[in-house]
Amino acid sequence: MPPGVPPFRTGICTSVTAEPTVDALRQFLDGRWGWARDEARQTFQQPLFAPVYDLDIDQHRERVLEQAKALADTPGPRLLFPKELGGDGEIGAAVTAFETQAMADLSLLVKGGVQWGLFGGAILHLGTQRHHERYIADVMSLRLPGCFAMTETGHGSDVQSIGTTATYDAETDEFVVNTPTDSAVKDYIGNAARDGRMAVVFAQLITGSPTQETQRHGVHALLVPIRESDGSPCPGVSIEDCGHKMGLNGVDNGRLAFHEVRVPRDALLDRYGTVAEDGTYTSPIENETRRFFTMLGTLVQGRVSVSGAALSASKVALAIAIRYALVRTQFHAPDSDDEVTILDYTQHQRRLLPALATTYALHFAQEELVAQLHEVFSNPDADELARRQLEMLAAGVKSTNTWHATSTIQTCREACGGAGYLSVNRLPQLKADTDVFTTFEGDNTVLMQLVAKTLLTNFRDEFGAPARPGRRCQHPRPRLAARHGHVPREARARRRHQTHA
């Protein structure tokens, strides 16, 4: 590190030698969980994990499933899960490895993210000990392929308004899961079309009995089997293939609908809400809205992972385009028979080098985000403010990284001319596979609104609420308060008088 520059709070290595070697630079950039990056690089150098572009959907899906099974035998999937459940308890390392994995086949990245990050993560963070002991080992080993059934045809970002219902039947001690309308069909669900056997289904929880009034308790998650052992849909479950997509065709996205599907009471992932045998509902968080956002906040690791994956795709695209620009020549130099490499042209530099510099900056922002994620999720006593700050940072960095990836990969494609349009050179597939990242794990526009809301909430908490009409401003710093809208009534009257004068 240069003299006088403090070490990064993320734990990035600061002991590299001053000698400007490739290894020293890599060590510095790999950061706190560099060992996880090294393990991922070694794994994805195997021929099985090489990116492909010329397979049909069925072949691609079969190949990605084979890759996922091989990945399940590596240490990678265990990183996400606690040691007491057979994992390694290194969430920061897990997200870092996932980010590195994005330099290989992005279909495998998404399928693995659904299996271990979303399906397994929901069981881990929303379930309780009995769910952990029964399912986590099979999730890690891929003996239980699963889905994360949150998004609905008519309810994307507005998860709080989803239409799927889970109604408790006290007579049978079961929940009845139902899709009441076409807009409540679970849509775009990874692993659903072919390989998934069980889904974490988000639904409106309803309780009641002949002696109790029906009550709605908001969105909760339940484990619902969707396929029999022979691969056929379970009774009452309708499964539809989403078909060919712009990219990520190695992932079997599908639609799920439930027609009075019954699951036992213990299928409810009940860390934040429990239903007793008689239908009585209890929760450690009384406020329904706060409970909902607390539940969703535990799943923020998916958003952080997508953010890192988009950044890795940008790095791959830039590496391809810049290396190509260093060997591709065009037009003769003045007074010379030699052609000029295209990276020597100022215009070409202005296309690629700002994107490269931005990618370096975002790399360190991502490192900070992953470090905060690790700190919050490794500390069971993390306060609400720390979690809120993490959610805001994740929303902002994810939006920035994914928009940057879309723009950068397009720039790199153009900078490579016709070569950039050839599938063998990876840029077309990178472009197609990452385009959905701007809406995956949260639409970027909605996420930036979340960032704005959180900043305004923090601003309000810092400076206090405005004085009520008719009362003198009580702000401890009145000049600062006036600058931000906390203007005493007398001052407002003087301003009006001066204006009229």
Under the banding of pLDDT at 50, 70 and 90, the label for residue 59 is very high
Asked if pLDDT for residue 487 goes beyond 70, the answer is no
Q: What is the pLDDT of residue 116?
A: 96
The pair phi, psi for residue 426, each rounded to 5°, is: 75, -25
In whole angstroms, what is the distance from residue 118 CA to residue 111 CA? 10
Is residue 2 in a domain? no
What's 188's domain CATH number? 2.40.110.10
Asked if pLDDT for residue 474 goes beyond 70, the answer is no
Residues 496 and 350 in one domain: no
Asked if pLDDT for residue 369 goes beyond 70, the answer is yes
Name the DSSP letter for residue 199.
E
Under the banding of pLDDT at 50, 70 and 90, the label for residue 241 is very high
Could you give the C-alpha distances from 328 to 321, 341, 353, 489, in angstroms and in order?
10, 5, 17, 69
Under the banding of pLDDT at 50, 70 and 90, the label for residue 375 is very high
Residues 319 and 453 in one domain: yes
Q: What is the pLDDT of residue 211?
A: 61
In whole angstroms, what is the distance from residue 327 CA to residue 348 CA? 13
Share of the chain above pLDDT 70, in %: 88
Residues 166 and 88 in one domain: no
Q: What is the pLDDT of residue 350?
A: 97
Name the DSSP letter for residue 113.
I
* Residue 340 neighbours by CB under 8 Å, 6+ apart: 329, 330, 331, 332, 333
Question: In the numeric block, which tokens belong to residue 243?
Answer: 């078909």
Is residue 14 in a domain? no
Residues 317 and 453 in one domain: yes
Q: Tokens 């993210």 appear where?
A: 113
Asked if pLDDT for residue 13 goes beyond 50, the answer is no
Under the banding of pLDDT at 50, 70 and 90, the label for residue 383 is confident
Share the mean pLDDT of the chain.
Answer: 88
Residues 129 and 227 in one domain: no
Contact between 244 and 58 (Cβ < 8 Å): no
Range with the lowest mean pLDDT among 357-361, 364-368, 373-377, 478-482?
Answer: 478-482
Per DSSP, the chain holds a count of helices (H) and strands (E) of 15, 13
Residues 341 and 437 in one domain: yes
Under the banding of pLDDT at 50, 70 and 90, the label for residue 414 is very high
Under the banding of pLDDT at 50, 70 and 90, the label for residue 212 is low
In whole angstroms, what is the distance from residue 305 CA to residue 48 CA? 23
Is residue 16 in a domain? no
In whole angstroms, what is the distance from residue 186 CA to residue 218 CA? 17
Q: What is the pLDDT of residue 334?
A: 85
Asked if pLDDT for residue 213 goes beyond 50, the answer is yes
Comparison of pLDDT for 257 and 487, the residue scoring more: 257
In whole angstroms, what is the distance from residue 117 CA to residue 437 CA? 16
Is residue 1 in a domain? no
In whole angstroms, what is the distance from residue 146 CA to residue 196 CA? 5
Under the banding of pLDDT at 50, 70 and 90, the label for residue 471 is very low
Burial class of residue 28, CB neighbours in 10 A (0-12, 13-18, 19+) = middle
Q: What is the pLDDT of residue 16?
A: 46
* Residue 232 neighbours by CB under 8 Å, 6+ apart: none
Burial class of residue 463, CB neighbours in 10 A (0-12, 13-18, 19+) = middle
- pTM assigned to the model: 0.85
Stated as kind and residue range, the H or E segment containing 368 is helix 346-378
Is residue 290 in a domain? no
In whole angstroms, what is the distance from residue 300 CA to residue 121 CA? 10
Q: Print the domain residue range for 76.
A: 22-141
Residue 267: half-sphere exposure toward Cβ, Cα within 13 Å: 24
Q: What is the pLDDT of residue 480?
A: 42
Q: Percent helix, strand, coil in the chain (nearest 5)?
A: 55, 15, 30
Single-letter residue type at 349: Q
Residues 125 and 205 in one domain: no
Q: Is the dihedral of CA 392, 146, 235, 250 positive or negative?
A: positive
Closest alpha carbon to 361 in 397, 392, 410, 319: 397
Residues 127 and 195 in one domain: no
Comparison of pLDDT for 183 and 18, the residue scoring more: 183
Residue spans of beta strands (DSSP E) within 192-328: 198-209, 212-225, 237-241, 254-258, 261-264, 274-275, 281-282
In whole angstroms, what is the distance from residue 487 CA to residue 473 CA? 7
* Residue 19 neighbours by CB under 8 Å, 6+ apart: none
- Given 101, 116, 141, the domain boundary residue is 141
Beta bridge partners of 331: none
Residues 468 and 487 in one domain: yes
Residues 309 and 448 in one domain: yes
Single-letter residue type at 181: T
Is 441 considered catalytic here?
A: yes
Rg over alpha carbons for the chain, rounded to the nearest Å, is: 26
Q: What is the mean pLDDT of residues 206-223?
A: 86
**Left (φ > 0), alpha (ψ -120 to 50) or beta: where does 166 sit?**
beta
**How does pLDDT run across 152-200, given as a tens digit for each residue?**
999 988 899 999 999 999 999 999 999 999 999 999 999 999 999 999 9
Is residue 104 in a domain? yes
Asked if pLDDT for residue 379 goes beyond 70, the answer is yes
Is residue 232 in a domain? yes
Find the farthest-apart pair of alpha carbons in the chain and give their distance in angstroms, rounded: 96
Residues 457 and 474 in one domain: no
Q: Of 260, 441, 462, 490, which residue is the catalytic one?
A: 441
What's 429's domain CATH number? 1.20.140.10
Q: Is the dihedral of CA 40, 46, 49, 50 positive or negative?
A: positive
Under the banding of pLDDT at 50, 70 and 90, the label for residue 298 is confident
Strand 212-225 and strand 329-332: the pairing is: unpaired
- Given 88, 119, 141, the domain boundary residue is 141
Q: How many domains does the chain have?
A: 4
Is residue 437 in a domain? yes
Q: What is the pLDDT of residue 460?
A: 83
Question: In the numeric block, which tokens belong to residue 32?
Answer: 């706190």
- Given 106, 141, 176, the domain boundary residue is 141
Range with the lowest mean pLDDT among 327-336, 352-361, 430-439?
Answer: 327-336
57 CA to centre of own chain: 25
What's 109's domain CATH number? 1.10.540.10
Residues 247 and 310 in one domain: no
**How does pLDDT run across 93-116, given as a tens digit for each residue?**
999 999 999 999 999 999 999 999
Could you give the C-alpha distances from 284 to 216, 271, 291, in angstroms and in order?
16, 9, 9
Q: What is the pLDDT of residue 214?
A: 86
